[in-house]
Amino acid sequence: MNNDKIESIKKELNGIFKNIKDEIELENIKNEYLGKNGKITSLSQLIREIPNEEKKNFGMQINELKNIFNEEYNNLKNKLEEMKILAKLNEEAIDVTLPSTKIPSGAAHPIERIIESLESLLMSMGYDVVEGPEIEKDLYNFELLNLPKGHPARDAQDTFYIKGEEYLLRSQTSPVQVREMLAHEGHEPIRIICPGKTYRRDEDDATHSHEFTQMEGLLIDKNITLGDLKGTFESIAKMLFGNTRETRFRPSFYPFTEPSVEMDISCFNCHGKGCNICKGTGWITVGGAGMVNPIVLKNCGYDPKEWNGFAFGFGLERLAMLKYGINDIRVFYINHDMRTLEQFDRREY
Ligand code: DAH
């Protein structure tokens, strides 16, 4: 009679696992057979009632039932788990053929590009990049650069003064020359460039801005010649405007250099024939320069009998306008539309 029960459960076990669809059903079945009052568990309780000589055999049969159940149970449990993982993977699959969202990318500001290319060229020539304050002393911006109060050349740089006459918004990056020379106390060679913001009381129009950017260069050493300056300028001109550019110096005047020059490049547009960019001359002026005036050397603690050097200054908006074909300086400061940056002709030579 007890054996019949065992046989009938064995038969049941044969079929019950086939229809199970998920883990909940599986656990229910486990409970039905192996739970506290489960069918197999109840059989174990019968052991007490059967004669001793049958106990061993009966116990073995129950164990066999349990083993059969557990094997089926474990197999199915593993299978269900696998299916669950597969379903999840399917659900999370990424369709790589979907069109992507376009993430608008910016572009480096033209002034920044000019600064970076000048820096990398001049650093390769041994120059350090240094910065100076935008709020500057009149002493450094003018006085020690051989522009004493009342000097007519001051008028050309209509300056924003701050509270009286001692401090101003620097009108040029040249005061960084003074700061560097004073810092080196007259006994070390210097090779620096200094890009930065400068300010003048100009009316803003297509070619003037009250805020603009310059890059100053200063080299102090021994036995430096105008030829060294020319070679340096030539490297800069070719890097910015192409290897076929020619360069020339024209005599000029700056109080802090003697002699002073204007630095011209041959017109990249008409190659010297004359066009509206070079105003028919075939040449374009891109900066000022000269041999550092001995008065400035002396003012800044360098003995002009021992030391000399050259200085140069570029207006970076002008370089960027020429290089990228921009005809209104205000474009550099109107940043409300990313397309402004995208539209520039990014000609690289
Ligand atoms: N600071 C001059 C300017 O703003 C540019 C300049 C000219 C800088 C000649 C120099 C230089 O260092 O030697 O117009």
Q: State in Å: Cα 345 to ligand 1 middle.
A: 28
pLDDT tens-digit series, residues 84-140: 999 999 999 988 898 888 777 667 788 999 999 999 999 999 999 999 999 999 999
pLDDT of residue 318: 93
One-letter identity of residue 322: L
> Please, are residues 9 and 65 in contact by the beta-carbon 8 Å criterion?
yes
Do 117 and 40 lie in a common domain? no
Do 206 and 254 lie in a common domain? yes
DSSP conformation class of 304 = T
User: Among 170, 173, 233, 254, which is best to mutate for testing ligand 1, by the most ligand atoms less than 8 A from CB?
Assistant: 254
Q: State in Å: Cα 261 to ligand 1 middle.
A: 10
Q: Which residues line ligand 1 (CB under 6 A)?
A: 172, 174, 216, 254, 257, 288-290, 311-313
Do 125 and 214 lie in a common domain? yes
pTM: 0.71
Q: State in Å: Cα 335 to ligand 1 middle.
A: 28
Do 87 and 115 lie in a common domain? no
Q: State in Å: Cα 171 to ligand 1 middle.
A: 10
Separation between Cα atoms, residue 202 and residue 245, nearest integer Å: 32
Q: Which of 91, 120, 150 is the last residue of a domain?
A: 91
Query: To the nearest 10°, the Cα dihedral for 178, 179, 182, 183?
Result: -150
Contacts of residue 250, Cβ cutoff 8 Å, sequence gap at least 6: 261, 262, 264, 285
Task: Evaluate whether residue 103 is within a structural domain.
Answer: no
pLDDT of residue 343: 67
Q: Domain limits at 227?
A: 110-345
pLDDT tens-digit series, residues 17-54: 888 989 999 999 999 999 999 999 998 888 888 888 98
Q: Closest ligand 1 atom, CA of 177? A: 12
Task: Evaluate whether residue 293 is within a structural domain.
Answer: yes
pLDDT of residue 349: 45
Q: State in Å: Cα 118 to ligand 1 middle.
A: 16
Q: Closest ligand 1 atom, CA of 218? A: 12
